[in-house]
Amino acid sequence: MNKAFLLLGLFVQLSASGQKAQFFPGVSFDSSYTVVGICQGYGKQVDSLERFWFVLDNPEDMKQLQRDWQFKKRANLPRLDFVSFDVYVIQGKRLASRTGLIIPRWGIVTDGLGGWYRFDTAWLAALHASHPLHYHSEHKRFQTYREYAAYGNSELNDPKLLFFFEPDIRFEGKFEIISDRTSDPSSPIFVLRDINKELEALAPKGSWEAGGGVETDTFAVKHPDETKVVVRCSKALYEKYAVKGRQKGDWQPAPIEMILFWRDDQ
């Protein structure tokens, strides 16, 4: 599963005027929606931010939040050592959009386009006080998509089910490419660029995804003369790829898995 829960993937956007960051652009809230605020670590981090968890399932409450959460005052991201807080828009117990990421420690929120804005965490404390959420998550894996679909459909009507992340079905699986690199810090980036070109010669862009080649990751630290690139793609592309000087790893089929979030009684 691609838990792409990445900053650039957030859907918080600037308004047309370019002066405000809006949490819920274009969402017309009705009774099919729910807004959930939880910690990105799903309750397992040292500080799970449980004091801020909230859930809104009344359309009027969600519309009020939509009106209130618009931000103008720009801020900077001080450093990267933080615990983040996610706000999700749910429709029919499926993820409609990941609407925003808040960093309570620094009192800032991102607009998803590289901008950061001041955010008063008193809003989160008040939401938790009036609409508290207590939950647990469950990770399940399936042998077939038929098995996954049967289980998912059987749980949809359970009132304790908040929402779930569905399997990522974009790619059949993945494999690793190990390649030599120089001592130049930019070398891994150039290796990744070359591998992207090699893949593009075999299959159109969008049908595969290559990443890695990070100077500071665990593999790079242990292997200063090599770099590792992970390719997510079809089995057919894996079988086609063969480039001299590249070590191609074994094919790893994509797991069929889902993460479910359950409301706990208090």
pTM above threshold 0.85: no
119-163 confidence digits (pLDDT tens): 999 999 999 999 999 999 999 999 888 999 999 999 988 999 999
Q: What's the Cα-to-Cα distance from 251 to each of 187, 231, 238, rounded to whole Å?
A: 26, 10, 7
190-235 confidence digits (pLDDT tens): 899 999 999 999 999 999 999 875 554 667 678 788 889 999 999 9
Mean pLDDT, to the nearest integer, of 103-115? 76
Q: What's the Cα-to-Cα distance from 133 to each of 81, 164, 184, 208, rounded to whole Å?
A: 25, 16, 49, 38
Is the pLDDT at 58 greater than 50, yes or no?
yes
| Nearby residues of 192 by Cβ (< 8 Å), 6 or more positions away | 210, 211, 212, 213, 227, 229
Place of tokens 């931000």: 71
* Domains in the chain: boundaries: 7-133, 173-253
Torsion sign (Cα): 193, 197, 203, 206: positive
Mean pLDDT, to the nearest integer, of 93-113? 79
Which has more confidence, 90 or 105? Answer: 90
Task: Say what the pLDDT of residue 71 is.
Answer: 85
> At the topology level of CATH, where does 173-253 sit?
Alpha-Beta Plaits (3.30.70)
| Nearby residues of 72 by Cβ (< 8 Å), 6 or more positions away | 19, 20, 21, 117
